[in-house]
Amino acid sequence: MTQGWPERLWVVRHGESAGNLARRAAMAAGGTHIETGGRDADVPLSPLGERQSRALGRWFAALPEAERPEVVLTSPYRRARQTVALIQAEGGVVAAPCDILQDERLREKEFGILDRLTRHGIAQHHPDQAEFRRLLGKFYHRPPGGESWCDVILRLRSALDTVSLRHGGARVLIVAHQVVVLCLRYLIENLDEAGIMAIDREGDVANCGVSEYAFDPSRGRDGAPVLLRWNFVAPLEAEGTPVTAEPDAQAGAR
């Protein structure tokens, strides 16, 4: 039987971005809007985010060549692509150029009319949506023009099917965004709403934080991935690189 899961799977949040800094500034000032100067898809890494990405790349590079990622899947958003490029520049992957793939299904959660609003901004400009979210919970609440966590999970089911069909038995690195990292954990570990919301309440996913899974052929009928590390930031700490876990600029309604 062909193995349907990667032999090793790493899921990584991008390095700190300029949007993370903009959100922090807006929250500190008590503002309603987060100013990023353009589309969310175009927000770059901050200088610290570049350092974080390089530190993670050196951690991967320190692994034996036969243990490094050989397939890379990335969100098409600039900050994720930059993270991948810097990991690659430090020798952290052995993937050929044709095995470094952008996948739009890994993009950030879309926030619709709540895009780039702080919690204060949402309460001021869209109090009805703040109430809907309170009643429904973040897992099911879908802002107009945006996505719920369930919507993100739906597209990620398709992305994982592609991973299974094309990259079973391989060593795969996924670089994406905070909600995507959490929703992938929900899918891979077959969690329910209460389970993933409990994990979410523990704290934000760190920039360049690593989730690592290893395939266990003894689990279930066809084998399954087993979580080895969650939100692992030792590669940054080992180099004295500051660890950050700021939500993205759009995450007032995350």
Q: Which residues participate in the annotated binding site for substrate? A: 13-20, 36-37, 79
Strand-by-strand arrangement of the 8-13 sheet: 100-102, 71-74, 171-176, 8-13, 210-216, 224-232
Residue 140 DSSP label: T
Looking at 73-232, list the stretches that DSSP marks H as alpha helix, in order from N- to C-terminal side: 78-89, 119-125, 127-136, 149-167, 178-188, 193-201
Residue 47 DSSP label: H
Determine the 3-state secondary structure of 8 from DSSP: strand
Alpha-carbon distances of 223 from 6, 8, 228, 252, rounded to whole Å: 11, 13, 15, 38
Contact 18, 234 (CB under 8 A): no
Strand partners, 210: 12, 232
Which residues does the annotation place in the binding site? 13-20, 36-37, 79
120 catalytically annotated:
no
167 catalytically annotated:
no
Which residue out of 14, 126, 141, 167 is catalytically annotated? 14
Residue 30 DSSP label: T
Which residue out of 67, 90, 108, 125 is catalytically annotated? 108
Alpha-carbon gap, residue 228 to 159, rounded angstroms: 22
DSSP per residue, 212-231: EEEEETTSTTT-EEEEEEEE
Which are the catalytic amino acids? 14, 108
